[in-house]
Amino acid sequence: MNLNYKLGIASILLLFGILTNAKAQNTGTIATLLELEDNQYFADRDSAYLDPYYGLKKLIYGNRRFADDKSIRPRQTDADLKSNELGQAPFATIIGCADSRVPNEIIFDQGVGDLFITRTAGQVMAEASYGTIEYATVVLETKLIVVLGHQSCGAVGAAMKLPENPPGHVVTLINAIKPASLRAKAANLSAEDALDYAVRENVIEQVNMLRNLEPVLSRKSASGEVLIVGAVYDLKSGYVNFIEETISSLPRFSN
């Protein structure tokens, strides 16, 4: 068996693992690294604000409640809305897609004041997005940033088609997602699997871009003061699946 053939088989197995994991809950590696507990649905909010690694657990447990039909809808009363008038202290920033099927507070089962959210189609970011994220990081002292893609993303699907004359400012979205879409097209997958692959690649690219964004995020990310990770929401199961390499490459696990 020659080397090229072995490498080809290895690449196929890796890709198969990526695509099948996208349909399931978070991988065993993530569970081990974050010390996730089986059948656990709750994590303390104050600890999540102070420790972004614990904040990840809080998001995962909250999503587990949602996906398992055990949502508690915390801090969502009129009193909760009014009690935040003097300020906010969200424990996580979510950079998500504008798709109406992905309501962040609902799928993570969080309440008023828990999540600082910015949303655009394909979670494509520009100057206003960067300023919004930096505001949450510097002023609100939020230590966890999650780039959240989702299954069947229309913006990624549009980029996969590579239209010659997209209308208006849609071209901005397509150009931003194009690198991920080209890698997916080169993988020679079925249409559905290629889209899933492109969604995942787009999230990873956005995570890496934020980790290197000067001057605020790059320094705080490198020091471990702020965690920037990626995830994909599965519309069918309701689970948010964090992308393993964006977790295993965090300072606590990679140094």
153 is in an annotated binding site: yes
Q: Which residue has the tokens 């693992």?
A: 17
User: Nearest-CA neighbor of 56 among 4, 18, 108?
Assistant: 108
Question: Which stretches within 89-211 are classed as H helix?
Answer: 104-107, 127-138, 154-161, 170-186, 191-211
202 DSSP assignment: H
97 is in an annotated binding site: yes
180: which residues sit within 8 A by CB, 6+ positions away?
156, 159, 198, 199, 201, 202, 204, 205
* Residue 237 and residue 63 in contact, taking contact as beta carbons nearer than 8 Å: no
* Residue 97 and residue 125 in contact, taking contact as beta carbons nearer than 8 Å: no
* Residue 90 and residue 116 in contact, taking contact as beta carbons nearer than 8 Å: yes
For 255, what's the count of Cα atoms within 13 Å in the CB-facing half-sphere? 6
Which residues sit in the known binding site for Zn(2+)? 97, 99, 150, 153
Which residues sit in the known binding site? 97, 99, 150, 153
